[in-house]
Chain A
Amino acid sequence: MDKFRMIFQFFQSNQESFMNGICGIMALASTQMYSAFDFNCPCLPHYNMAYGLGILLVPPFILFLLGFVLNNNISMLAEEWRRPHGQRGKDPAVLRYMFCSMAQRAMIAPAVWVSVTLLDGKCITCAFCTSVPVETLGNASHPLLSQEEIQRVLARIPCKEIYNGQEVIANEVAVRYLRCISQALGWCFVLLMTTLAFLVRSLRPCFSQAAFLKSRYWSHYIDIERKLFDETCAEHAKSFAKVCIQQFFEGMSTDLVAARCHLPQKASADTGEASKKLLGITDQGTMNMVLKSWHRCKPPLHLHPSALPSRNGWAGEGQSPVHPSAAQRETAAYYSLV
């Protein structure tokens, strides 16, 4: 158990730092994705806005969902939410705590994507190039061009190679203007997010610290309990398998002895451990029969309680499976000592 204890402590102390690590990796991945993405503004009047705003808003949504998917605790939250009450009440504060901490971590990568996009400026330039104030920055009253023509010309601002509206408004002036607005929005967004994070973190100790400590303890408890239950089941399965297989070999050996009508040879006093472990299966033919029997007719998942060998070791009989009806339950109200 010592080894398990050490592993549990490692996971417990590092569960949060593990999740923080994943969160940081996703944020880096989102900046990398943005720089690898080949932004290609369509430069057509109605498509620009859809494309620009789509690139600004759809990947953050995907990253948010991915943040939930990659978080191991989501299944724990779902399980705790859906389980029947049983003998243990459900505490909504614990569920809220678990959900909030997961949502906070999942929000970081989308926020990074939106800030990087806004600070870079290409998306806003693409989306809003048709709304540039031509009156103040350029030459609005161009005699030869109708409104739609001007819109079409303005839509080509992000594509410098095909831009043909230098008389209406200079390309660099428009791009600089749009990028300035985009970067201002970007910095304001980052400032807002940081201020919110700061307020959430610093107001909590002022208001619900005791409730917070309780929720945190019980959410860690649920996590540890689930892991420990899995470990205990694994250990149980190991012991079960060991006994099952041992009983199978013993059953086989007894049956072979009975079939050959030989009396079991009494082991002489000075035979070692090894020959005892051989369980009377001492030649190739017998071993092959054992292996064939293991493949053709696996023993039932039912261990015999007594140490006496049973005649029908592998026939699948034995006592009928137990179906206990509603048994008595402990009914007192229980609380932890914490």
Chain B
Amino acid sequence: MDRFRMIFQYFQSNSESVMNGICGLLALASVKMYTCFDFSCPCLPQYNRAYGLGVMFIPPVILFLCGLILNRQSLVMLDEWRRPQGHRKKDLAVIRYMCSSIMQRAMVAPVVWIIVTLLDGKCLICAFSGSMDPEKFVGFATVSPVQLEQLLAKVPCKDDELMRNNTSRKAVSRYLRCWSQALGWSILLILIMAAFLARWLRPCFNQDTLLQARHWSNYIDIEQKIFEETCCEHSRLFAHKCILHFFESMRQEIKLHSFNLPRQGEGDEEKEDLQGITDQDQVNKLLKTWYYEKPPLDVSQATQR
């Protein structure tokens, strides 16, 4: 029982910290993914916006789904939601609590990606350089509309032959980056303020239902883990008994057909361990029977002995 107690305490204290750890790792992974990703704007009028907005919004969806998949609690919550009522009523407040805590953790990595993208600026420059107002920028004001579209589309590509050392390109680029970074910082500020308020004001509303919901969601999680542990224990004991029963039934079979009754030697523990299987052919027969005729999954005979 001591072992079970230790395991209880481990799971109790570490379930949330394991989830937080995974959440943090995913956020770091998203930053690393962004830095490794070789952003290359196509610099073509029809493709820029799709590419820029795609790189800004598709990876967050992927990261969100990853956050849900890697979180063990989401399975527990789904299980609890879909199970038949049986003898235990379902408490919707617990399910809601679990759902909200899972969603909060899963949203961290996508938000990190979006903020890093905005603060870096490349995506917005790529997506919106084609929609700039040419009047604001000296170099583009006097160009024909058809050429304007092409030129503006090439702004994100610094090394393009048309755009090298073009001061208007740099102006557009700086303008868009400024907007992008302002947006990024504002979103970051709003989110942090929202998190701060939510945490600070929460004790003012429904503290008792919150405590209950948290307790029972923890309980469901632990109960699931212990059920799996107990099933493992049980299957190990079952296998142990099944195999001993198999060896015993082989010994009885051999006894029936041998002419020499095995005599117990004094103090011969090893002989008892041998279960009456004492020569090469008997061992070979045992191994062959194990493969060709596995014993039935029933140890009630063994336990009744």
Contact = CB atoms under 8 A, between A and B. Distances in A.
B258 A187 contact: no
Contacts of B281: 321-323
Given A119-B37, A194-B69, A319-B258, A209 B293 contact: no
A240 B278 contact: yes
Nearest to B59: A187
Given A184-B51, A243-B274, A334 B59 contact: no
A171 to B, nearest CB: 11
A324 to B, nearest CB: 4
A324 B253 contact: yes
A180 interface: yes
B61 interface: yes
Which of A179, A188, A307, A325 counts the most chain B CB atoms within 10 A? Answer: A307
Which of B40, B59, B263, B294 counts the most chain A CB atoms within 10 A? Answer: B294
A324 B68 contact: no
Interface string A317-338: 0010111110100101011111
B271 interface: yes
A177 interface: yes
A338 B231 CA distance: 9
Interface stretch (A38-46, A82-90, A153-161, A287-295): A82-90
B254 A322 contact: yes
A205 interface: yes
Interface footprint category on A: 35 or more
Contacts of B192: none
Interface in B291-305: 291-301
Interface footprint category on B: 35 or more
A294 B300 CA distance: 45
Contacts of A265: none
Interface stretch (A54-62, A70-78, A223-231): A223-231
Contacts of B37: 119
Contacts of B261: 305
Contacts of B258: 319, 322
B43 A176 contact: yes
Interface string B3-23: 000000000000000000000
Nearest to A242: B270
B223 interface: no
A298 B54 CA distance: 76
- Chain B's interface: helix, strand, loop or mixed, by majority? helix
Given A12-B236, A198-B68, A301-B280, A205 B298 contact: no
A202 B78 contact: yes
B277 A220 contact: no
Contacts of B62: 187, 190-191, 194
Interface in B27-43: 37-38, 40-43
Nearest to A308: B263
A205 B78 CA distance: 6
A197 interface: yes
A305 to B, nearest CB: 4
Contacts of A330: 249, 296, 301
Contact of A88 (B240, B249, B297): B297
A188 B181 CA distance: 27
Which of B79, B235, B263 counts the most chain A CB atoms within 10 A? Answer: B235
Contacts of B82: 205-206, 209
A270 to B, nearest CB: 21
A235 B300 CA distance: 25
B278 A335 contact: no
Interface in A109-135: 119-121
A217 interface: yes
B147 interface: no
B291 A221 contact: no
B38 A137 contact: no
A6 to B, nearest CB: 9
Given A119-B37, A176-B40, A243 B271 contact: yes
A195 B64 CA distance: 10
Which of B74, B238, B263 counts the most chain A CB atoms within 10 A? Answer: B238
A147 interface: no
Contacts of B157: 172, 176
B247 interface: yes
A191 B69 contact: no
Nearest to A306: B263
B273 interface: yes
A334 B79 CA distance: 31
A51 B66 CA distance: 32
A86 B231 contact: no
Given A187-B59, A220-B232, A327-B257, A88 B43 contact: no
B42 A307 contact: no
A194 B265 CA distance: 65
A105 B171 CA distance: 50
Nearest to A241: B270
Contact of B296 (A324, A327, A334, A338): A334
Across chains A and B, which 3 residue pairs bring their CB atoms closest together, nearest first? Answer: A334-B298, A86-B293, A301-B280
Interface of A: 5, 8-9, 12-13, 83-84, 86-88, 119-121, 137, 170, 172-173, 176-177, 179-180, 183-184, 187-188, 190-191, 194-195, 197-198, 201-202, 205-206, 209, 217, 220-221, 224-225, 228-229, 232-233, 235-236, 239-240, 242-243, 300-303, 305-307, 319, 321-325, 327, 330, 332, 334-338
6 contacts: A191-B62, A197-B69, A229-B243, A236-B277, A240-B274, A319-B258
Given A202-B78, A229-B290, A305-B278, 6 more contacts: A176-B44, A202-B74, A224-B235, A228-B240, A322-B279, A330-B301
